[in-house]
Chain A
C-alpha cells in the first residue's frame, strides 16, 4: 500500500505563517498592481518585504535623512501624496534631486502640541506621512500606527518607533569627490539594512550610492540576505 507522500515544500507551506517563495512573489506582484503597495526606487525595493511600502505599515528610518527622501521619491513621482511633519530642517533641494515631486509634498514644519491631531488628520487623507519621532510619546505612536493600518496609509518615521513593521538603518561609508580643497562632495556608498517583523523578519542589506552621481539614488549592489552566522555576530 502506498501512502500519498506530500512533497516536503507543500507540507512546510501548509504551516500557518509559512509560504513558498513563488507564492510570496505572486502576492507581491498582485499588491503592486492593485496599488496596495507604494513603489520605491528599484535599488531599495529588494529590502522591503512587499518590494515597496505596503499600505498600512509603519517603516522606521534610522539615521539618514537622505534615505527618508529617497523613500518618498518614487511614490510622489507616481502620483501619491506625502506629508512631512515636524522636520523644519528638511533639505528640499536635495529632495528634488532624489526625484521627489515637490508638488505632491506638504510640510507641517512645527505641529507643536497638536502633533497627534495633525498626524491623525494627515493619515486620513495622505498616502505617505513622515514624522520625526523625537517628540512622539509611545502611546501616541502606537495609536498613529494603528490609524495608518486602518486608513491604508504608510507611516514613515524618522527615528525609533515602537512596533514598526520594518526598520531601515544606514551605515555610511566615506564620501567621494573631495580632494584637499578641490572637487566637491559627489557620492557616497551607504549600506542599508532592513529588519523587522513578519515577512521582514529576515534581515537584508543592500548597498546603494546615496546620493549617487548627480544627487539621485543609484544601485550599487543587489540586496542580499544577511547570512545567519553574521546575524549572530552582528
Chain B
C-alpha cells in the first residue's frame, strides 16, 4: 500500500489511530453484573440515562431519559449505576492488548485509546493490516468489540472511529466538513454553550464553521472559539510546544507502607495531583499528556500515558491516577501486580502553555482563603483517620430521614444520585427528627391489653398504641401518635409490609412528652425499631 507522505507543516497534527469501544460504560457494567452484552442495558446517573447499548436503543431508550420512562419503553432493561472506577478498571485490559502491538498508547478516557500511527503502520505493512491485527487482538484478549479510525489529530481521529473510517492523509478538512457542529462538544470539552450559539447562528456543520476567517472567530468567540475553529479545520488543538518539559517537573513519590488499596491510592492521588499541577503552573505550563508510572515492591514496572484534549486540572490528574490504580490493583488475578506500589512517578509528557488553565481556575470561583484553610484541616484529619474519616453530607432523594442523606468522603465529587426535589410518596412531612440513630434500636409497641400491635394489610394499625418499651426496658405510656405512613416501595419486589409511625411518649412526671419515630416491618410478627428522636 502506498501512502503519500504526510505534509510536514507544523500546522497539521500527527496522524493518530483511535480505537473506540462503543457504549463502554454499559459494556463494563454488564461484564461486572454478569449480564449478556446483547441484552438491553443502560447506565444511569442521577436518574438519567448516561449510556445505553444497541439493544436498549432499539427499544427507544435515549440519553438523558428518566429511569421510569426508559423502563416503560423497555421493561427488561438492565439498570446500572454510573461508576468511573469500574469503567477504568475493565478498560485496562483493552489498553494492555493495544500496548502489546503498538508503543505509545495513550488512554483518552475509559473506552477510547489513541496511538500514533506512523511507525506501527510501517512495521505491520500498512494501516489496514495494523487495524486488522488490533481489532483481533482486542477481541481475543479483552473480549470486547471496538471500532477504529485513523486521521490527523485526536479530534478528527475520534470522529473517524465513530464511523470506522480511514481518512486519507491531508483530507481531514474534507472529512470533517459535512459532520454536524454538535460533534465539537466531545465529553470533557465543555463546549455545549459555544455549540448552541453556533447552531443558532446558522452554522450547522463543521465545514460552515471552518469556512469563517480565523480573525473573525477570534473577535467574536475569543480563545475558546479559536480552539474549536482549529479543530473544525482539521488542525491540531494548539500549535505544539517545541521545548520539552523540564525534568524537575516530574513528581516522584515513595510510599511507606506500600499502597495496596485503591481508596488509599485515591486519597494520596489528590495531594500529589495538586502539587504536580502547582509545579507546572509555576512554569506557566499545563499538562495534556500525563504519564503515570509505578514500581511495585517486587520490582515490577507499570506505566500508562493518559491523553487529554483539554489541559488537566488537579482534579483531572487525581481522577486519572485513581482510575489507573483501579486498573492495576483490581485487575484479574494473573495480570495484577504481585505486591503493593512503592514508588509512583507522574510525568508531564506533553505540556501546553497554561494560560487557558489559569483562566479556568479563575472561573471556578477562586478558592478563598477560608475554604482552603478548612480543606487543609479536613485533609489533615483524613490523614489521622483514613479517607472515610471525614465526610460531607449530601441530601438525596429518598423516603426515610436516614436514606435521604448520603455521606461522601471529603474531596470526592458531590453528585446527587437522585433528584432531591422529586416527589416521594410516603416521605414523612417536615420537620425531620434531629437525631437519626445510626443503629436503630428494637422496640415493642403494645395496645391497652398489652398485646403487640402491627400493621394490617390495608396499612392501618391493628390497634391503638398504648405503650412502648425500648429494648425490653420499662413501658412508657403513649400520649399521642400519628401515622402509619406506609412505605410502598417497589411494587414488583415483594417483602414484608413496612410503615413508619410517630409516637409521643410520656416523660418523667414534670417533663414534657418526648417524640420518637418508629419503623415497623412485617404484619404477623411486627419488628418495631426506633429510628429517630425529635429532640
Tell me if A15 counts as interface (CB < 8 A to partner B): no
One of A6-14, A47-55, A86-94 at the interface:
A86-94
- The reply on B370 being an interface residue by CB < 8 A is yes
- Of B79-87, B356-364, B378-386, the stretch lying at the interface with chain A is B378-386
Which A residues are in CB contact (< 8 Å) with B389? Answer: 108, 110-111, 118
Is there a chain B Cβ closer than 8 Å to A150's Cβ? no
A108 interface neighbour in B376, B381, B428, B483, Cβ under 8 Å: B381
Report the nearest A residue to B383, measured CB to CB. Answer: A121
Shortest beta-carbon distance from A121 to chain B in Å:
5
Cα(A192)–Cα(B312), bound, Å: 52
Bound-state CA distance A109–B407 (Å) is: 10
Q: How far is the CB of A80 from chain B (nearest CB, A)?
A: 8
Query: CB within 8 Å of A: which of B299-319?
Result: none
Q: Is the CB of B374 within 8 A of A89?
A: no
Contacts of B480 in A (CB 8 A): 175, 178-180
Interface majority SS on A: helix, strand, loop or mixed? Answer: mixed
Assess whether B433 is interfacial by the CB under 8 Å rule.
Answer: yes
Please encode chain A, from 171 to 214, with 1 for each CB lying within 8 Å of some chain B CB and 0 for all others. Answer: 01111011111111111100000000000000000000001001
Give A119's nearest chain B residue, CB to CB.
B381
Are B377 and A66 neighbours in the complex by a CB distance under 8 Å?
A: no
Q: Is A18 an interface residue when CB atoms closer than 8 A count as contact?
A: no
Asked if B421 lies at the interface with its beta carbon under 8 angstroms from chain A, I say no
Residue on B nearest A87 in the bound complex, by CB: B435
Q: Across the interface, do B370 and A94 meet the contact criterion of CB distance under 8 Å? A: no
- Closest CB-CB distance, B428 to chain A, in whole Å? 7
Q: Which of B384, B401, B410, B464 contacts A93 (CB 8 A)?
A: B401
B490 adjacent to chain A (CB < 8 Å): no
A112-B389 Cα distance, complex, nearest whole Å: 10
Instruction: Compute how far the CA of A178 lies from the CA of B480 in the bound complex, rounded to whole angstroms.
Output: 6
- Closest Cβ of chain B to A177, distance in Å, is 8
- Known A125-B374, A125-B377, A181-B464; judge A114-B385 contact (CB<8 A): yes
Q: Once the chains bind, are A102 and B392 in contact (CB under 8 Å)?
A: yes
Contact of A69 among B374, B395, B434 (CB under 8 A): B434
Cβ-based interface call for A117 (8 A)? yes
CB within 8 Å of A: which of B127-185?
none
Could you tell me if B377 and A122 are in contact, using CB atoms closer than 8 angstroms? yes
Within 8 A of A (CB), among B489-524: 502, 504, 511-513, 515
Is B432's beta carbon under 8 Å from chain A?
yes
Asked if residues B515 and A89 are in contact (CB atoms below 8 Å), the reply is no
Q: Which of A114, A125, A175 lies in contact with B534, CB distance below 8 A?
A: A175
Answer yes or no: A124 CB below 8 A from chain B CBs. yes
* Residue B436, interface by CB 8 Å: yes
Distance between A119 CB and nearest chain B CB, rounded to angstroms: 9
In Å, the complex CA distance between A109 and B410 comes to 13
The verdict on B481 contacting chain A, using a C-beta distance below 8 Å, is yes
Contact with A along B419-436 (1 / 0, CB 8 A): 000000000111111111
CB proximity to B under 8 Å, residues A91-111: 91-97, 102-103, 105-111
Q: Provided the pairs A178-B481, A180-B481, A183-B482 are in contact, do residues A118 and B384 lie with their beta carbons within 8 angstroms?
A: yes
Most buried by A among B371, B428, B431, B433: B431
Residues of B within 8 A of A110 (CB): 385, 389
If over half of B's interface residues share one DSSP class (helix, strand or loop), that class is named, otherwise mixed; here it is: mixed
Name the one of B376, B431, B512 contacting A172, with C-beta atoms under 8 angstroms.
B512
Contact A126-B435, Cβ < 8 Å, known A184-B429, A214-B430: no
Verify if B405 is at the interface (C-beta below 8 Å from A).
Answer: yes
How many angstroms between the C-alpha atoms of A179 and B479 in the bound complex? 10
* CB pair A105 B502 closer than 8 Å: no
Which of B374, B380, B393, B502 is A102 in contact with, Cβ under 8 Å?
Answer: B393
The contact size tier of chain A is 35 or more
Q: In chain A, what residue has the closest Cβ to B535?
A: A65
A163 at interface, CB cutoff 8 A: no
Closest to A69 in B: B434
Tell whether A185 pairs with B502 under 8 Å between CB atoms, given A69-B434, A89-B435, A175-B513.
Answer: yes
Distance between Cα atoms of A125 and B379 in the complex (Å): 11
Q: Is A167 an interface residue (CB 8 A)?
A: no
Q: Contact check, B515 vs A125: say whether CB atoms are below 8 A apart.
A: no
Among B376, B483, B534, contact of A181 (Cβ-Cβ < 8 Å): B483
**Given A89-B436, A93-B401, A122-B377, A102–B534 Cβ distance below 8 Å?**
no
Query: How far, in angstroms, from A102 to B406 measured CA to CA in the complex?
Result: 11
Nearest CB in chain A to that of B374: its residue: A81
Q: Are A93 and B534 in contact (CB under 8 A)?
A: no
How many Å from the CB of A81 to the closest CB on chain B?
4
Residues of B within 8 A of A159 (CB): none
Asked if A91 meets B433 with Cβ closer than 8 Å, knowing A106-B390, A121-B384, the reply is yes
Give min CB distance, B403 to chain A, whole Å.
9
A175 contacts across to B, CB distance below 8 A: 480, 504, 513, 515, 534
Which of A90, A124, A184 contacts B436, CB < 8 Å?
A90
Any chain A CB within 8 A of the CB of B437?
yes
**Chain A residues within 8 Å of B464, by CB:** 181
- B231 CB to nearest A CB, Å: 35
Across-interface contacts of A88 in B (CB, < 8 A) = 438
Give the residues in chain A near B431, CB-CB below 8 Å: 94, 97, 185-187, 211, 214-215
Q: Could you list 13 A-B pairs, sorted by A, with CB under 8 Å?
A: A90-B435, A93-B401, A93-B432, A94-B401, A106-B390, A107-B390, A110-B385, A114-B384, A122-B378, A127-B370, A172-B512, A174-B512, A182-B482
Which 8 A-B pairs give the minimum distances between C-beta atoms? A125-B377, A215-B430, A215-B431, A211-B431, A81-B374, A93-B432, A65-B434, A178-B480
User: Footprint of B on A, CB under 8 Å?
Assistant: 63-66, 69, 79-81, 83, 88-97, 102-103, 105-112, 114, 117-118, 121-122, 124-127, 172-175, 177-188, 211, 214-215
- If A65-B435, A126-B377, A214-B430 are given as contacts, then 8 extra A-B residue pairs at C-beta distance below 8 Å, sorted by A number, are A66-B534, A89-B436, A89-B437, A95-B393, A126-B378, A179-B482, A183-B482, A188-B534
